[in-house]
Amino acid sequence: MDTALKAIADPKRREILRLVWSSEMPATDIASHFHDVTRSAISQHLGVLRHANLICERRAGNRRLYRANVEEMARLRTFLDQYWSGGLDRLKTAAEAAQQKKENRHG
């Protein structure tokens, strides 16, 4: 999960994910969207995303078609949502513990 989080922390990789979110795209097309870096750099970014399981690869003849792994991204989103709500959960747990204590005192 940490790998995925670190992967999306990079703006280029987020942009790549955007490109292959709703449709698959060959590596060259992906690379040609970035005019400030080499195709090799993008290929390495694709490697990072693949290693984080955030994209899937399909080979078609000469090409490699990429698409976002939406399930993994959903998992990542859920992880973060749980993290955001963690503070509230913590408050809730503390409140319940206090309540329990109170009841024990009174029982």
Partner DNA sequence: TTCTTACGTAAGCATTCGCTTACACTATAG
Partner DNA sequence: CTATAGTGTAAGCGAATGCTTACGTAAGAA
Based on the shown chain and the rule CB under 7 A, indicate whether residue 18 belongs to the binding site for DNA.
Answer: no
Could you say which of 33, 39, 58, 90 contacts its own copies (CB under 8 A)? 90
CB 79 within 8 A of CB 31: no
Q: Is 67 in the site for DNA (CB under 7 A)?
A: no
Q: Is 21 in the site for its own copies (CB under 8 A)?
A: yes
Q: Which of 43, 72, 75, 79 binds DNA (CB under 7 A)?
A: 43
Write the CA distances from 38 to 43, 44, 63, integer angstroms: 9, 10, 18
91, 101 Cβ separation under 8 angstroms: no
Q: Quick check: 41 binds its own copies (CB under 8 A)?
A: no
Q: Is 51 among the residues that bind its own copies (CB under 8 A)?
A: no
